[in-house]
Structure 1
Amino acid sequence: MSTLDTSSTGLAALLSPGTVRSTVLPVVRQQVSALEPTLARVCSYHLGFTDEHGDLSGAANGKLTRAALMTAAAQGVGLRPEDVRSQAAALELLHNSTLIHDDIIDADELRRGRPAAWKVFGASLAILAGDALQALSLQMVVDDPGPGRAEISCAFAEANRLVLAGQSREFTVRLGSGAGIAEYDRIVEEKTSALLQCALVTPALRAGSPEHVLAALRGAGRHLGLAFQIFNDVEDIWGDPAVTGKPVRGDIERRNPSLPVLAALSAGGPAGERLRGLWQAGGTTAAHLQEIADLTEEAGGRHTAEQRSRDHLDSALEHLGRAGLTPAASAELTALFDRIVNRTA
């Protein structure tokens, strides 16, 4: 396998956002364009390549977070970005398949500041488009001839299985009588952490890294996913829609048990008890949602969630340190972890 410049200057040049995009997006475009034409049109719209008429668009393509993680991790084990380009593109496609399906399940009408694919093309076609991206992602890793193909294919299949399990579990919990923090953690580990773990582990599998490296990277991905999702839960209630790209309090409106609410309910006390009553009442007016948010904060749910997010980020960095990656890659991944969780520039 080829190696690359491990100095800070060399890494910055290789892993700038523009470099990651120029490395991964052409592969994504090429693969999606080869889909059945109708599915290609829906997927191209969702990915921001085209508008609803099929004309070229300047819409956002997403942050390519998983591709950036994979590219940085690749450098950490002595590979070049090109060595995992196909896998990075495949993981972005797998991630986007979950976004298409999530928007339908949650009835979210906006994605990246414009109408979600299901609002434009209908739920039936959007479901098929999400399925097509999922199948395409797995086909890409199976077809790639490089080292570790079997292990990488298994990692992708396992990540896909976990995401589906987490989504099913979340939906079941949402319809049930409630969930505890342990159940919440399990859902996040499946639905969110699994793809981040896959991003970090894939280069190590390609490089034939020993098991202790794989274990450290899996741990980093697990805690990174928890840190990100918990912070995302906080933003859903108290965030700025201009930053998040979605209206606030969607989780509360759907009665999706997010960490701040679970923590507030677990804390008990007068605010927690009033919160439980409002939560079970099922109201969705703006005033009702605002009162739920206020009681969640009063009962300590926001503080607890923010602290748990910071703790998980610290744990993710501790695991990253055990992986023995190159210093430059470790520094890049440390910065990426912070940007992912805290939405820093």
Structure 2
Amino acid sequence: MTLVDSRDNAGPSRDTLEHSRALTHPALRASVERLPDEARAVAAYHLGWCDEQGAPHEVRGGKALRPALVLSAAQSVGGSAEAAVPAAVAVELVHNFSLLHDDVIDGDETRRHRPSAWAVFGTGAAILAGDAMLTAATEVLVTSESPVAVEAARDLSRTVHTLIHGQSTDMEFEQRRYVAVDECVDMAEAKTGALLGCACALGASFGGGTEQQVSRLGRFGRCIGLAFQHVDDLLGIWGDPSVTGKPIHSDLRSRKKTLPILAALHSDTPAAEELNELYRNDRALSEQEVQHAANLVERAGGRRFSLDEADRLLGVALNELDGGLEGAAVSELTELARLATRRDH
């Protein structure tokens, strides 16, 4: 059983991502350049633009999926990608604000194959840089010349509140013995689905879309976001560290309650009973036990559950693109959705 679909994703979706980077990168850099000196240094390092001493050193950053979704959503309602660049930059700033904070909260010492920002500059500096990027996101929107700028800033602010609620709930789960699968789904929808839904909705708004088009594209993005989280949780157990840039089995080692793990814990199977016993024990797990836990999650059906859910959610998302949208941009959104839900990092 493979973790992700074996189909090649190196074609049109990669071209769309590169085009998105080319359009948004100058505006993103300009926004970061306006940050206070200390925050700018941390943000530039986190984004892969410099080394620990601030010397220019380009490192391939994230997938830049969210900006690409913004621009393609704008084009799908008949607007231009250029008009939606402020929304794309704002969403990317919010995403990276959340990553900076998440790394501190989770204690993750690596991101994208090098030390995470907090591990280099300290927790306080990383948190403040994230705060500065969040503020910059609002500034980008409200200073744009779009007629929807103010409402877009309100929508993004509401999304950040939802995202923070999702992260808080995720932290709460770590302290609880029992968490239902539905609770975890709600948390993932808030933590991950909300921002992808906002990205697509903002793109449609900046592209001049109708209220119905904005709503449909928002639902498309939220479904992709939840599917994305299912895959992310699978990668947290079985991803290749040389590809993901993160240590293998980190979720199991810290006894996190992710979607595939909870599905396994609630499966009413012998493997689930054994996995529950490992999770109830408070002592640190040995490497052998962590590997055994990964095997138990698979035997209890957790891996299959998240693979099937990612496929189902992809289908639901693509149904939202059926009719009333520009064909070429719909093809881009479709490829981006497949890339997000069938990936290895």
Instruction: State the TM-score, normalizing by the size of structure 1.
Output: 0.92
| 2:179 equivalent in structure 1 | 179
* Separation in structure 2 between the aligned mates of residue 197 and residue 253 of structure 1, nearest angstrom: 31
In structure 1, stretches of 5+ residues that fail to align are 1-11
* Separation in structure 2 between the aligned mates of residue 14 and residue 123 of structure 1, nearest angstrom: 34
* Separation in structure 1 between the aligned mates of residue 207 and residue 233 of structure 2, nearest angstrom: 35
* Separation in structure 2 between the aligned mates of residue 18 and residue 238 of structure 1, nearest angstrom: 28
| 2:269 equivalent in structure 1 | 269
Please report how far the alpha carbon of residue 210 of structure 1 lies from its aligned counterpart in structure 2 after TM superposition: 2.7
1:96 correspondence with 2:96: yes
Conservation of the 8 A alpha-carbon contact between 2:192 and 2:229: yes
* Separation in structure 2 between the aligned mates of residue 318 and residue 215 of structure 1, nearest angstrom: 13
| 1:318 equivalent in structure 2 | 319
| 2:251 equivalent in structure 1 | 251
Conservation of the 8 A alpha-carbon contact between 2:80 and 2:207: no
Please report how far the alpha carbon of residue 208 of structure 1 lies from its aligned counterpart in structure 2 after TM superposition: 4.1
* Separation in structure 1 between the aligned mates of residue 211 and residue 71 of structure 2, nearest angstrom: 20
| 1:291 equivalent in structure 2 | 292
| 2:231 equivalent in structure 1 | 231
| 1:338 equivalent in structure 2 | 338
Question: How many equivalent residue pairs?
Answer: 333
Residue identity over aligned pairs, in percent, reads 38
1:102-154 superposed Cα distances (whole Å, 9 cap, x missing partner): 10111101111110000100001111001111111112112212121122111
| 1:50 equivalent in structure 2 | 50
* Separation in structure 2 between the aligned mates of residue 119 and residue 241 of structure 1, nearest angstrom: 18
Between Structure 1 and Structure 2, which shows a larger proportion of helix residues? 1
2:166 match: secondary structure: helix
In structure 2, stretches of 5+ residues that fail to align are 1-11
2:236 match: secondary structure: helix
Conservation of the 8 A alpha-carbon contact between 2:13 and 2:335: no
Conservation of the 8 A alpha-carbon contact between 1:224 and 1:313: yes
* Separation in structure 2 between the aligned mates of residue 189 and residue 268 of structure 1, nearest angstrom: 25
| 1:301 equivalent in structure 2 | 302
| 1:70 equivalent in structure 2 | 70
| 1:209 equivalent in structure 2 | 209
| 2:4 equivalent in structure 1 | none
RMSD: 1.8
Conservation of the 8 A alpha-carbon contact between 1:178 and 1:257: no
Mapping for residues 101-250 of structure 1, pairs under 5 Å: 101-250=101-250
Instruction: State the TM-score, normalizing by the size of structure 2.
Output: 0.92
Please report how far the alpha carbon of residue 326 of structure 1 lies from its aligned counterpart in structure 2 after TM superposition: 0.6
| 1:22 equivalent in structure 2 | 22
**What letter corresponds to residue 290 of structure 2 in structure 1?**
L
Conservation of the 8 A alpha-carbon contact between 1:170 and 1:187: yes
* Separation in structure 2 between the aligned mates of residue 19 and residue 302 of structure 1, nearest angstrom: 34
